[in-house]
Structure 1
């Protein structure tokens, strides 16, 4: 008789344990489902931001081309889909080895930059612009110097040139109304010979490597980073 009672107690014990395990499995399953749903929501947010900024970049590129296409050839400039504008006629920009803007480039900037600013700082785009980069690029050589010394010397030169460009742009009376916005968003970046322009044979085109570029960075990266950070 006692054996039957013990058997019943053992069965009840195992039933309660199995019920507990089943309950825990349901909890784990619900947690996994919630996690998967949240992960899918976050993935969709990242996708939506990426789509939004791809469209914005396309629209901004089209607006820049529409505004400046008639002037590009005379300026020796080109507009790229990555939102960079390259001024690539060094004889118009700086004397060889010098940091001061030539008069020809000042005239180009006086025409170009207020129109450029009118687009990027418009209500359509201004809240989505994270940075307006002025980039100075040089060729890789420096007379009488080895590669390392030439790189360092060109780094200093390219930085001085971008600062000269920035200083001139901020002095334009036509940008006075947006000067505060510019000081929050515009940077001057000397890159030495780190990003040379290559010719068809894969070698550096030293003449075209000596250039100034304006490059826009949207805040898509920071928004996506914030979404990913929220998942941690």
Structure 2
């Protein structure tokens, strides 16, 4: 076939197939599609990472605020002559027995004036610390935890019930004596649920394992305040990653 006839043949193909594309045009189009798809994927992954980072940052902020709150409460009470302890990696405010000492097998707040004054002051300082600067939005639950020594309680409720009643006793004492302007039972967490709860651990979490003297026993008959903060739910993280 001569060159002239070859060109005429190619021209005839082009005229008969107006949608014909060269192989290089097809590859160029596919490359553009691939690049655009890659950009969309990178953007989507970046957005998901940003959402996960936001959840982690929120948890980090909450933990920092919890640490600040416990340190603030401890220092304010120290100024008032009431010594409390911060334990369990800055998550628990412990009221030691020299500030609140329960008699063996008793759960009511003791009648001694110094104990009652200390309990009320702890409630006042606690309310002030957790209600400032939108801190409530970062807390999930504050548990009032009751504890006993290792000796079995002769009461029908046992050590589990005895420890729980100690927590309830402190909770009721606060709400009955702090006044309407400091009602802890009206505080809500970030989900609108009551912020405070009570729990009892019986003898299962002693501050000192060796319990031989009355001082050893008394140290374990105590109240702890455990502060839990908001945290990303696994379902939320999975929904972001899906």
Output the TM-score relative to the length of structure 1.
Answer: 0.70
Q: Are 2:139 and 1:129 aligned?
A: yes
Cross-structure match for 2:225: 214
How many Å apart are 1:48 and its aligned residue? 2.3
For 1:19 and 1:85, locate their aligned partners in 2 and report how far apart those are by CA, in whole Å.
67
Cross-structure match for 1:52: 61
For 1:46 and 1:29, locate their aligned partners in 2 and report how far apart those are by CA, in whole Å.
26
Conservation of the 8 A alpha-carbon contact between 1:72 and 1:78: no
**CA shift in 2, pair 1:131/1:79, >3 Å:** same
Partner-residue secondary structure (3-state), 2:142: strand
Cross-structure match for 2:179: 175
Output the TM-score relative to the length of structure 2.
Answer: 0.67
Conservation of the 8 A alpha-carbon contact between 1:136 and 1:159: yes
How many Å apart are 1:213 and its aligned residue? 1.0
How many Å apart are 1:24 and its aligned residue? 7.1
**CA shift in 2, pair 1:159/1:65, >3 Å:** closer
Q: Could you tell me which runs of 5 or more consecutive residues in structure 2 were left unpaired when the two chains were aligned.
A: 2-20, 189-193, 211-215
For 1:60 and 1:169, locate their aligned partners in 2 and report how far apart those are by CA, in whole Å.
19
Partner-residue secondary structure (3-state), 1:196: coil
**CA shift in 2, pair 1:60/1:84, >3 Å:** same
**CA shift in 2, pair 1:227/1:45, >3 Å:** farther
**CA shift in 2, pair 1:154/1:17, >3 Å:** farther
1:62 to 52, 64, 71: 71
Cross-structure match for 1:196: 206
Structure with the larger helix share? 1
Structure 1, 32-41 or 131-140: larger mean CA deviation: 32-41
**CA shift in 2, pair 1:157/1:16, >3 Å:** farther
- Structure 1 segments, 4+ long, off by >6 Å, are 12-21
For 1:69 and 1:60, locate their aligned partners in 2 and report how far apart those are by CA, in whole Å.
14
How many Å apart are 1:197 and its aligned residue? 1.7
Cross-structure match for 1:157: 162
Conservation of the 8 A alpha-carbon contact between 1:94 and 1:100: yes
Partner-residue secondary structure (3-state), 1:193: coil
Conservation of the 8 A alpha-carbon contact between 2:145 and 2:200: yes
**CA shift in 2, pair 1:72/1:16, >3 Å:** same
Conservation of the 8 A alpha-carbon contact between 1:90 and 1:207: no
Partner-residue secondary structure (3-state), 1:113: helix
Deviations 1:104-138 (A, max 9, x none): 33232122211221221234523333322211012
